[in-house]
Structure 1
Amino acid sequence: MRARLLPVVLLVVALAVGLVGCGGGAPEEEPARTPVVEPPVIAEEGVLRVGVDMAYPPFAGTANGAKVGIDVDVAAAVAERLGLHLELVDVKPADMTAALDSGEIDIMLGAVPITDAVLANVTTAGSYIVDGPAFFAASSDDTSASVVATVTPEQIPGMRVGAQASSAAFWELEGEYGEGFVQSFDTLKDAIAALDAGEIDVVAGDAVVGAYIARDHPGVGFAGQFGDAQPLGISVRKDAVELEAAVRTALDGMAADGVLETIRRKWLGDVPALTVSVDGATS
């Protein structure tokens, strides 16, 4: 799924900023960072090389020549907490293991579910956001809202439903309600545009990507989680025990300080965090 990135400024979390004295003058220089990890734990001294998929907004993309997105903001915050300068490397999830093993990157984001990381024989150092399928619908009172009245699975049989062709949501609905039940679109963006135009009643698709696209359609909003959600994690090389521990500590601190929630809301607005199913329960 591809979508237009809004021109936004990168989130800067807890970075040291020079202060101007009472009498004016130039800002003070930023204090030197003290690295938490050094080579051979990372490939280059003072630098954290982070793999992201630069063609997958809102996780990562470009706007006005700048690299922006959820993964970019999270990577910047992790690098700052590790006392390192950030270097972003464009890596597709399919190439993650090779890039980590070769030392091309130190860690990988790239919107990779933790389950996929395990199958790829890499280690997850923690989760930074939860993603999964969701419903999107038009506001009943024509007001602009990022969240609208919840659509339940029981309502679906009587609705005109759209989804991106061959997406997980598309196949799940087709399997549940029969072939031809879902109106397919080339992209999730096209499906949401059709929803906004009143051509369909509800769209099923990726929650994070859909919520981001819906920001360009003020009458469309998140209408509830649809199916299981998965935590997306930061991956490290399988034997990178020290780096895993350092990144996990950074992520735990970012969660406790509200940094991860701030980043999520920056890109998704008031859309609630999805719940992850654990043995039939949610967490």
Structure 2
Amino acid sequence: MKKIVKIITCLLAFLIVGATLAGCTNVRKRANGQDNWKKIEKKKKVVIGLDDSFVPMGFREKDGSLVGFDVDLAREVFKRYGIDVDFQTIDWSMKETELRNGTIDLIWNGYTVNPERKKTVAFSVPYLRNQQVLVSKKKENVYDAKSMKGKALGLQSGSSGYESYMSQPKLLKNYVKEAVQYDTFNNAFLDLNANRIQGLLIDSVYADYYVAHEPDPNSYRISDVGFESENFAVGMRKGDKTLQKKINMALAQMAKDGTLQKISNKWFGTTKMVPLKEIENQKID
């Protein structure tokens, strides 16, 4: 009798857990399919997920304050709608999961548009050009991909650089002896400077800014290894059509009135912006 009761109890527990999981799945599906603009507008707050060590897009100053190109850009976009921005630091390798679960409303931190991400994420118009480059110390005599033969390469987990590295092995992967993944580029640079890795595949916007602010910029070499240029855009759930439209409208306005270029000049000195005509004519999936 005790065995029968135990079996029934286990079955009931299994059914309850299954129903709970199914309910959570349905909630996520509804969240991903619904348009959340009215909720955001009512709360007057939007939550943006970012890696807060990604210079110059979004990073912490010594006093802990959050600054960067994307930080300024996001605040300016939502300022035009009377909405505050709440930046949430996330594990970059889990960004799509955080978005899907509703922990954040947007991914906005040097987020590259690619076909794989488009399967699950909706994107704004692109606003910035980027490219994956190889950073090394000059003493290592690394000039191109072939120079990495037998050497260790650093990559950020979940980054577009890692995805390009894996999907296009002939460009770099086939030459590398060992690939080491890092949670942040800051940690990767520490290992590069300590000679634990001899190269680092990284976004050009990060590489240019980081190297320029090092005590000895001339000790580094930045090499093009053949990866195509990329576009940065804002990532959101597929159902957030109004949010997508609002961001696109604000970016177009900022491109016209010069605000976009002003923010770019502040952080990059030279233009890396997507041309206005491309922003205005961009077709969104």
The secondary structure found in structure 2 opposite 1:51 is: strand
- What letter corresponds to residue 49 of structure 1 in structure 2? V
Q: 1:79 and 1:165, CA in 2 relative to 1: closer, same or farther beyond 3 A?
A: same
Deviation string, structure 1 residues 206-262 (Cα, Å, up to 9, x no partner): 312211211213436785644212212112221111111111111222233343343
Structure 2 residue runs without a partner (length 5+): 1-34, 157-161, 276-285
Which residue in the other structure is 1:206 paired with?
Answer: 203
Structure 1 counterpart of 2:112: 113
1:82 CA displacement: 2.2
Q: CA RMSD in A?
A: 4.2
Contact 1:39 1:45 in 2 (8 A): no
Distance 1:79 1:133 in 2: 29
What TM-score do you get using the length of structure 2 for normalisation? 0.58
Change (3 A) 1:271 1:247: closer
User: Which residue is equivalent to 2:123?
Assistant: 124
Per the alignment, in what secondary structure is the counterpart of residue 114 of structure 1?
coil
- What residue ranges of structure 1 are gaps of 5+ in the alignment? 1-36, 140-150, 276-283
For the residues of structure 2 that align with 1:236 and 1:78, how far apart are their CA atoms? 15
Judged with a 3 Å threshold, the aligned counterparts in structure 2 of structure 1 residues 249 and 183 are, in CA distance, closer, same or farther, namely closer
1:165 maps to 2:154: yes
Match in the other structure for 1:45: 43
> 1:46-125, aligned counterparts within 5 Å?
46-63=44-61, 64-115=63-114, 116-119=116-119, 121-125=120-124
Contact 2:264 2:272 (C-alpha < 8 Å) held by counterparts = no
Structure-2 change in CA distance of 1:72 and 1:163 (3 Å): farther
Report how far residue 185 of structure 1 moved.
11
Q: Could you state the TM-score of these two structures normalised by the residue count of structure 1? A: 0.58
Q: Which has the larger radius of gyration?
A: 2
Q: In 2 relative to 1, CA 138–101 (structure 1 residues): closer, same or farther, beyond 3 Å? A: closer
Q: Kindly report structure 1 stretches of 4+ aligned residues shifted beyond 6 Å.
A: 158-163, 182-186
For 1:274 and 1:135, the matched residues in 2 are separated by 23
Matches within 5 A, 1:1-283: 40-42=38-40, 44-63=42-61, 64-115=63-114, 116-119=116-119, 121-135=120-134, 164-166=153-155, 168=162, 172-175=171-174, 178-180=175-177, 188-190=188-190, 193=193, 205-214=202-211, 215-216=213-214, 217-219=216-218, 225-226=224-225, 227-270=227-270
Greater RCO, 1 or 2 (C-alpha within 8 Å, sep 6+): 2
Deviations 1:92-132 (A, max 9, x none): 3444445445544332213322225313x121122232222
> Quick one: structure 1 residues 271 and 164, their matched pair in 2 at CA, closer, same or farther if it must change by over 3 Å?
farther
* Cα 1:132–1:249 shift into 2, 3 Å: same
Per-residue CA deviations over 1:179-229 (Å, capped at 9, x if unaligned) read: 55x99898552577589xxxx8x9764312211211213436785644212
Separation of aligned partners in 2, 1:260 and 1:162: 40
Structure with a larger share of its residues in helix: 2
CA change 1:183–1:97 in 2 (3 A) is closer
User: Distance in 1 between the 2:146 and 2:102 partners?
Assistant: 50
Q: Does the residue aligned with 1:231 lie in a helix, a strand or coil?
A: strand
Aligned 8 A contact 1:53 1:110 in 2:
yes
| 2:231 match: secondary structure | strand
Measure, in 2, the Cα distance between the counterparts of 1:138 and 1:270.
25
State how far apart, in whole Å, the 2-side matches of 1:117 and 1:208 are. 21
**Distance apart, 1:66 and its partner CA:** 0.7
